[in-house]
Amino acid sequence: MQKDTFTIATIQASPVFMDLDASIEKACDLIKKSAKKGASIAVFPEAFIPGYPDWIWHVPPGDMTLNQDLYAKLLEQSVTVGSRETDRLCESAKEAGIYVVIGVNEKNTQASGGSINNTLLFIDPEGNLFGHHQKLIPTVAERMIWGYGDASTVTVYDTDICKVGGLICWENYMPLVRYALYAEGIELYLAPTYDEGQTWNASMRHIAKEGRCFVSGCCMVLKKKEVLKKLPELEPYYTSVGEWINKGNSLITDPDGKVLAGPLSAKEGILLAEIDLHMLRASKWNLDVAGHYARPDAFELTVRKRAAPIIREAEEDEEIENEERNLS
């Protein structure tokens, strides 16, 4: 039977920048620590493994040789879903007995293996990888690194603690995508990000109030020395950057937009908050944007849930065509 309360751990940490194995090892240690603090679910930042490619905001696109070299290095350290790397994360979640949601750079191994998606992985306490969301629209310079995510990965998962889902960074500024999650009854809304600061935190509070859900705005911290230690060739491009590239400012909010934990600035740490589903249900009394506050007679949202793989077998195409004919 589902309990009305449980604890979330929002993990603000630095990856071991551009090191796949070491970042996974650090994530496993943080999963264990979160469980010891009483958390039922641990949330990690966007692109935690093996790190956010911050150089995209500093290296001009015209520096082709450097950009190609950096891309190759990131691809080599990115995650293959269903590999030993994700197995290690799943084993850690099982040992800790908690849910884990973690941001990774994902290789598109279902096709060429040469492209990368910005992805959230959802793991249950039995160690099963049960969810997989790809960022739909990389923002500005991010498009030099990440592909466009599959729209079928926008979904809410009905777990034994609550209905949970997530969007990555500026996807959270896409009203129709947010509404799709509200309409599926999301209760714990996860927003792993690389953004930080007052405007972002105000958005997290707004989303919580709008969707009547608990929100985790989970951001990584990153120092310049960590980037240059791994990629010293970037030093000429970081002369104007201070000690901190990203200070984090992660937070957790309740369905009224009240801050329950954080913001945590310029340091690593684990934010904890109690999720109270009774309080969430009570908040729907005066606002439910995908319920009594909706007007489906006036407005309609169509969500296409079918996956769009690059390669399909001919038999699959025939099945799809038959389904579409039956629906028409």
Segment 97-120 shows an average pLDDT of: 95
- Report yes or no: 118 and 49 within 8 Å, Cβ to Cβ: no
pLDDT in the model for residue 92: 97
- pLDDT over 90 at 44, yes or no: yes
- Report yes or no: 86 and 121 within 8 Å, Cβ to Cβ: yes
Q: Is 300 exposed, middle or buried (0-12, 13-18, 19+ CB in 10 A)?
A: exposed
Superfamily the domain 5-300 falls into = Carbon-nitrogen hydrolase (3.60.110.10)
Q: By three-state DSSP, how is residue 28 classified?
A: helix
Confidence of residue 308 (pLDDT cuts 50, 70, 90): confident
Confidence of residue 323 (pLDDT cuts 50, 70, 90): low
Joined tokens for residue 311: 């390669």
pLDDT in the model for residue 157: 97
* Strands, E assignment, 28-124: 41-43, 99-107, 116-123
Confidence of residue 1 (pLDDT cuts 50, 70, 90): low
- pLDDT over 70 at 324, yes or no: no
pLDDT in the model for residue 313: 77
Give the residue from 288, 160, 106, 302 showing the smallest Cα distance to 213.
Answer: 288
- Report yes or no: 46 and 168 within 8 Å, Cβ to Cβ: yes
pLDDT in the model for residue 321: 64
What's the mean pLDDT when you consider all of the chain? 94
- pLDDT over 90 at 3, yes or no: no
Give the residue from 153, 106, 93, 120 showing the smallest Cα distance to 309.
Answer: 153
Active site residues: 46, 135, 169
pLDDT in the model for residue 133: 96
What 8-state DSSP symbol labels residue 158? E
49-82 b/e with 16+ CB inside 10 Å = b?
Answer: bbbbbbbbebbeeeeeebbeebbeebeebbbbbe
Segment 192-217 shows an average pLDDT of: 96
